[in-house]
Amino acid sequence: MERRITTRHLFKSETIKAGSAGTSAIVDLRDISKEGQFSLSWTVAPAGDAATCGTTTFSYLLSPVFDGTYVTPTGGTCGTMANDAGESDWASFSPSPPVAPFMKVLASVGTSATALVTAALHVR
């Protein structure tokens, strides 16, 4: 049984302004999610001269259609980074049913400071 892990880079030092959100490109899960196991790794750093980067919350959005409407299911938050300058973290999550073939990840930054976000989705 093959247990391959596929990584999709979602954000690469993307500047997300305080009080706003960044949305990743669409991830097609049909060929990479054989076992339905997911994890998200991220680094959140302060942008510019800021000492902190506020709170950043990561959630996933699902759609049954590539160019359809993406919604966050109940329990769709996969991690929160709280006001840490240059910190990294990792979280595993299981998408709530119904499972959908297409996913995006949303990085929502709190109102206190702009953040530089780097994140990757790991799928098996």
Find the distance separating the first CA and the last CA of the chain, reported in whole Å: 12
Residue 82 lies in a domain: yes
Residue 25 lies in a domain: yes
The burial class, CB within 10 Å (0-12 / 13-18 / 19+), for 122 is middle
Instruction: Give burial (CB, 10 Å; 0-12/13-18/19+) of 1.
Output: exposed
Single pTM value for the model: 0.85
Cβ contact 11:22 at 8 Å: yes
Instruction: Tell me the one-letter amino acid at 47.
Output: A
pLDDT of residue 69 exceeding 60, the answer is yes
Establish if 15 belongs to a structural domain: yes
Judge whether 90 lies within some domain: yes
81 in a structural domain: yes
Q: How confident is the model at residue 98 (pLDDT cuts 50, 70, 90)?
A: low
Q: Which tens digit of pLDDT belongs to each residue from 5-14?
A: 899 999 999 9
pLDDT at 119 over 60: yes
**CATH number of the domain that 33 lies in?**
2.60.120.1110
Number of domains present in the structure of the chain:
1
Q: How far apart are CA 16 and CA 11, in angstroms?
A: 10
1 located within any domain:
no
- Determine the structural domain holding residue 22 and report its residue range: 6-123
Q: How confident is the model at residue 4 (pLDDT cuts 50, 70, 90)?
A: confident
Q: Report H helices in the chain.
A: none
Torsions phi, psi for 80 (to 5 deg):
-135, 135
- H or E segment at 107? strand 102-109
Inter-residue contact 53 to 15 (CB < 8 Å): no
Q: What per-residue confidence (pLDDT) applies to 96?
A: 54
Q: What is the dihedral of CA 117, 22, 40, 47, to 10 degrees?
A: 10
Between 18 and 92, whose confidence is greater? 18
